[in-house]
Chain A
Amino acid sequence: MSTPTTSLTEVASSGATLRAFLHGLPGVDRVGADQRAATLGTRSIKTTAKAKAIDLAISMVDLTTLEGADTPGKVRAMCAKAVRPDPADASVPKVAAVCVYPDLVPHAVEALRGTGVRVASVATGFPSGRTSLAVKVDDTALAVASGADEIDMVIDRGAFLAGDYLTVYEQIVAVKAACARKDGEDAHLKVILETGELVTYDNVRRASWLAMVAGADFIKTSTGKVAPAATLPVTLVMLEAVRDFRDRTGRMVGVKPAGGIRTTKDAIKNLVLVNETAGPDWLTAEWFRLGASSLLNDLLMQRTKLTTGHYAGPDYFTLD
């Protein structure tokens, strides 16, 4: 790991080389990883550090709605909340992005124009990914053409678990190519590993490297549709992967735990994990995101508690 900027392109020259590379990564001991995550979870973040952590966490939230019942109206309401999370307090930062299905991207783009809040869209046959590559590429192209800044793609877990790493690699490369926009920029590609279906931490580490080698800008734990979603040890393993990847290539990749992060405490534990695993370079919305829908209100509630000394009831925070 001590040779920066080594090219990793040749590892994907065949299924065999890719497999040899991924299986040559250091293993992950489940007991040890769980224990490390639990220990970091006992860090006590208070007073000024807590206030800063809450604002940082808010600025990292990808406010998300991914339901079949989503409507343009719901998306517009969520966008309003993303820009001004607390109507009563203008000092609350904006969230990082809103995350919607591809067909709703135009509504989000319109509602967020000029605000700096980015539009993310899940594409590639979300959440199962069980469709042809052509459809996945089209799905992505539609979202990008509609103005999405970020694409959250799911990997083919079936192919991964069958050991067909090259298929997964090629799909990520193809989707990444479909992220090219007319203005010459790329939409950022977040690759969802769906770690709950990969089951072992060894698989999580291999899938993380596979996605990074294939060009992912972000690696993301889960769709939010499968349990367990973003557990602390899984996020820990992914943070170790991006840290080692930067040591080796010089390139930084972001991390996004998504699903199951509901409380301020959970969010702060994630920030501690980032700080002490990958390092403070990752402690910005550019390199770390929290995929969540209900987390934001708890952050707001705790923020209010810190500033006023009192807990306000849930009705003091908006539902959108």
Chain B
Amino acid sequence: MSDIFEYAPAPESRDVVDIRPSYGLFVNGEWIDSLGDERHKTLNPATEEALAEFSYATPADVDRAVDAARKAYDSVWGRMPGRERAKYLFRIARIVQERARELAVLESLDNGKPIRESRDVDLPLVAAHFFYYAGWADKLRHAGLGEDPRPLGVAAQIIPWNFPLLMLAWKIAPALACGNTVVLKPAETTPLTALAFAEICRQADLPPGVVNIVTGAGETGQALAGHEGVDKVAFTGSTEVGRLIARSVAGTRKKLTLELGGKAANIVFDDAALDQAVEGIVNGIFFNQGHVCCAGSRLLVQESVEDELLAALKRRLATLRLGDPLDKNTDIGAVNSAAQLDRIRELSDAGEAEGAQRWSPPCALPDKGFWFPPTLFTGVAQSHRIAREEIFGPVLSVLTFRTPAEAVEKANNTPYGLSAGVWTEKGSRILWMADRLRAGVVWANTFNKFDPTSPFGGYKESGYGREGGRHGLEAYLDV
């Protein structure tokens, strides 16, 4: 009887995507070859199979892309009325919806995230961001940012590998709505959906040069952020790289927004709705294999319910299904790269060495690919590395507290400040906590919820500036 719900595999078909063997750069509405000859392969992290070859753009390539963006800004996009720009953005949003299945499969292939998440979370949000900012394009004067806010010019945008297409949407949609043109560099492990987006720009008849996509790694990013022809730099990624970019931009006229790491506290009080808190903890840290900058990687649980909550959490973790990202029943997919897997392993080992207790549910890992089981550490102290450093993987550190004040103190005792979660049935306590938590987003009785209308961004080493919502326009306007 027990094998009834060995759910038979339900893989999403790969046939809906058409991956070319090799990609160039997308500049001025055309595919061009890189002037350099450094080319790399992007892997499917679940199988280590090479998916396609792409270029590492050289500084000269970046020059060409920035020039194209400048020309498009001066001649077409910067002077186009907002209502006309809106039409393009609406068109892009609709094409994204029409091609959602294909894009979701492509994202899961290249990134390793479960199709359930790329299909049900990423793609709907990508479309929603374009729809939302399309609505703003002709209403910028009503955004509360001055009488006649003007675009900045050319935006250099560098995005990470955890939500490749969603981060692209977060960057490109507001930039275009405000009248800027962009040069975007996707992460070197996940370039495919950005390259597919280039095709969407052509399909939408976007004027050449408004969106340019250059692929590559750190050096390409450096050339782009440091390029004297750009007016704005937007970066999402690690705090370490964020610091480098901040240094390179300092003293120039460029505007900068940074969205960096996090070590969010997910705070559970003893009166919380327990079953839903467990779901929120799972969603907070195991969503997207924990590759989420606002992941709830520190669980702060009130001491009086620690045993009960941990028992419920362990029981729930045992039901998580790890495996083929394209299977619709998979909850946890592959870690994005070998390098990231090494980092997760290193920090987890450090957790054990420092004396925290490690626990994972019984969980078979596939032979090939990059995998890490859902893991939780109990007996964690604030001074442990696993409580301080961002792991960016499916690893939860459990700490305890006794009073609300102690919870706030511990939650804020971190170099980061991107997000926090509070679980309690008491409304007044939620408000009291939200006032005191130093985090850009505070979720109450939920976690990892995103919406284009809601601003997102952090304090301290989690960066500065806001993306999303009305506030997100400010980063792309001269106000």
Q: Which residues from chain A sit less than 8 Å from chain B, CB to CB?
A: 1-2, 26-29, 31-33, 35-36, 42-50, 52-53, 56, 240, 271-272, 275-276, 280, 283-284
B274 at the interface (CB under 8 A from A): yes
B338 at the interface (CB under 8 A from A): no
B353 at the interface (CB under 8 A from A): no
Q: Which of B5, B271, B311, B328 contacts A49 (CB 8 A)?
A: B5
Given contacts A32-B280, A35-B279, A42-B116, contact A2 B308 (CB under 8 A): yes
Q: Which residues from chain B sit less than 8 Å from chain A, CB to CB?
A: 1-10, 116, 120, 271-276, 279-280, 307-308, 311, 319, 328-329, 425, 445-446
Chain A residue numbers with a CB within 8 Å of B5 are 49, 53, 271-272, 275, 280, 283
Cβ A49 vs Cβ B445 within 8 A: no
Give the CA-CA distance A156 to B329 in the complex, in Å: 41
Output the least CB separation between A208 and chain B (Å).
13
Cβ B276 vs Cβ A32 within 8 A: yes
Beyond A32-B446, A43-B7, 20 extra complex contacts between A and B, CB < 8 Å: A2-B307, A2-B308, A26-B272, A27-B272, A28-B273, A29-B445, A31-B446, A33-B275, A33-B276, A36-B276, A42-B120, A42-B328, A44-B328, A44-B329, A46-B10, A47-B8, A56-B4, A240-B275, A280-B1, A283-B2
28 contacts between A and B (CB under 8 A): A1-B311, A2-B308, A26-B275, A27-B273, A28-B275, A29-B273, A29-B276, A29-B445, A31-B446, A32-B275, A32-B279, A33-B276, A36-B275, A36-B279, A42-B116, A43-B7, A43-B328, A45-B7, A45-B10, A46-B8, A46-B10, A47-B8, A49-B5, A50-B8, A52-B3, A271-B5, A275-B4, A280-B4
Output the least CB separation between A253 and chain B (Å).
17
Chain A residue numbers with a CB within 8 Å of B8 are 45-50
Give the CA-CA distance A43 to B114 in the complex, in Å: 13
Cβ B4 vs Cβ A49 within 8 A: yes
Chain A residue numbers with a CB within 8 Å of B274 are 26
Chain B residue numbers with a CB within 8 Å of A28 are 273, 275-276
Chain B residue numbers with a CB within 8 Å of A2 are 307-308, 311
Chain A residue numbers with a CB within 8 Å of B311 are 1-2
Give the CA-CA distance A33 to B446 in the complex, in Å: 11
Chain A residue numbers with a CB within 8 Å of B120 are 42
Give the CA-CA distance A1 to B7 in the complex, in Å: 30
Please give me the residue from chain B that is nearest to A51 by CB atom: B8
Output the least CB separation between A303 and chain B (Å).
15
Chain B residue numbers with a CB within 8 Å of A33 are 275-276
Give the CA-CA distance A272 to B4 in the complex, in Å: 10
Output the least CB separation between A52 and chain B (Å).
5
Give the CA-CA distance A42 to B121 in the complex, in Å: 13
Chain A residue numbers with a CB within 8 Å of B116 are 42
Output the least CB separation between B449 and chain A (Å).
10
Output the least CB separation between B301 and chain A (Å).
14
Chain B residue numbers with a CB within 8 Å of A48 are 8
Give the CA-CA distance A295 to B435 in the complex, in Å: 51
Give the CA-CA distance A47 to B7 in the complex, in Å: 9
The winner among A35, A240, A272 for most chain B CB atoms within 10 A is: A35
Give the CA-CA distance A28 to B462 in the complex, in Å: 33
Chain B residue numbers with a CB within 8 Å of A240 are 275
Please give me the residue from chain A that is nearest to B270 by CB atom: A26
Output the least CB separation between A10 and chain B (Å).
21
The winner among A43, A50, A272, A283 for most chain B CB atoms within 10 A is: A43
Chain B residue numbers with a CB within 8 Å of A45 are 7-8, 10
Chain B residue numbers with a CB within 8 Å of A53 are 4-5
Cβ A27 vs Cβ B271 within 8 A: yes
Give the CA-CA distance A98 to B308 in the complex, in Å: 40
Output the least CB separation between B450 and chain A (Å).
14
Chain B residue numbers with a CB within 8 Å of A35 are 279
